Homo-oligomer: A and B are copies of this chain.
Amino acid sequence: MATIEDVAKLAGLSRTTVSRVINDQPYVTEEKRQRIVQAMKDLGYVPNSSARRLRSQKTETIAVLLPRVTNPFFGNLIEAMEQKASEWGYQVIVCQTHHSRKKEIDYLQLLKTKQVDGVIMASLVNDWKDVEPYLESGPIVFCNEYMEDASIPMIHMDHKTAAYEAAVHLLEQGCKHIAYASGGPESHLGAMRKQGFLEALEEYGRPFLDELNIDWAIDVSDGQKVFHLIRSDFPYIDGVFTGSDEVAAGLIYEASSSDWKVPEDLAVVGFDNQMVSLLMVPSVTTIQQPVIQMADKTVEVLIQQLLHPGAIAPKRYVYPHQLLLRNSTKRREAAIQ
């Protein structure tokens, strides 16, 4: 592998001058520049990135922490992030935490060991006190996930209001006993949703019992299980708030192969507006997040922090959501689309 030294020799000049050419710096005669460019071509020279990193203390790489890529929400997120980052010349490392505290911390180590310049956390299962120390090694930005006490940039939706609106919608459609089927480990975000949901119930004078709380529903097959659980043990339930479109899809799929009708017997709302929510019959009422905008903003904020350290105060960007009314909750005429 040719080094800068080789190029210098071949061109009959010094490393310094070659370096100047590489980095488009002034003070190089056009003639010598040509000679160097030619030498680089002849040798197939490419600057060694490790050496540059060591010298510049920069990696042009960021880590994106998320639970898993195959969850379509996170898939969309990282797709947009990678695209945006590459526009700025940054590489993206995928870090799947699978909701594990240990893995999350392990990946944060990338910051300490200088393998990445900054970190985006779209996964957050550790307490802030365990994350904060890593801040001194480089900037961290939250996306989707968030918490009150951290003073770093956060890009997210108002999950509490979103859940509140979804619950109100179910109540307005005449649901009397609404189950809450969500899952995964407790995160601040999950707590917010739950809060909004409960507020709506309280406002409408509906009680919420333990039996209506399902906290292990993540994917399609869980959704299927949820349906059977409801049907066999709690048949009086007539509405379900789910934490994802996948759970909603599983529920609706099972219902359609039973004698229950959605939404007449059971109204269902999903979350994320994934493609499947539109393809299901009936189509799924869901909450849309501006994923791409959030992803772009997150990358932009992080890179700005890298380019101008400490220039801007950590801000919070709250993006709007939208409750998309579809057929899975259409018990009264009002429903649109």
Contact = CB atoms under 8 A, between A and B. Distances in A.
A249 B115 contact: no
Given A93-B91, A96-B82, A112 B279 contact: no
A308 B118 CA distance: 33
B275 A220 contact: yes
Contact of A70 (B49, B79, B95): B79
Given A50-B54, A70-B75, A76-B70, A93 B93 contact: yes
Interface string A77-106: 011001100100001111110000000000
A83 B106 CA distance: 13
A301 to B, nearest CB: 20
Contacts of A51: 54
Interface of A is mostly: helix
Given A70-B72, A280-B279, A112 B46 contact: yes
Nearest to A275: B220
A93 B62 CA distance: 10
Contact of A115 (B91, B114, B281): B91
Contacts of A46: 109, 112-113
A317 to B, nearest CB: 23
Point out which of A46, A50, A92, A110 has the most chain B C-beta atoms below 10 A from its C-beta: A50
Q: How many copies does the complex hold?
A: 2
A96 B61 CA distance: 15
A235 interface: no
Nearest to A274: B276
Contact of A82 (B57, B69, B109, B279): B69
Given A49-B114, A82-B94, A92-B93, 6 more contacts: A50-B57, A72-B75, A79-B96, A220-B279, A246-B275, A276-B276
17 contacts: A49-B114, A50-B53, A51-B54, A54-B54, A69-B69, A70-B72, A70-B76, A72-B72, A75-B75, A79-B96, A86-B96, A91-B93, A92-B94, A246-B275, A249-B279, A276-B276, A279-B280
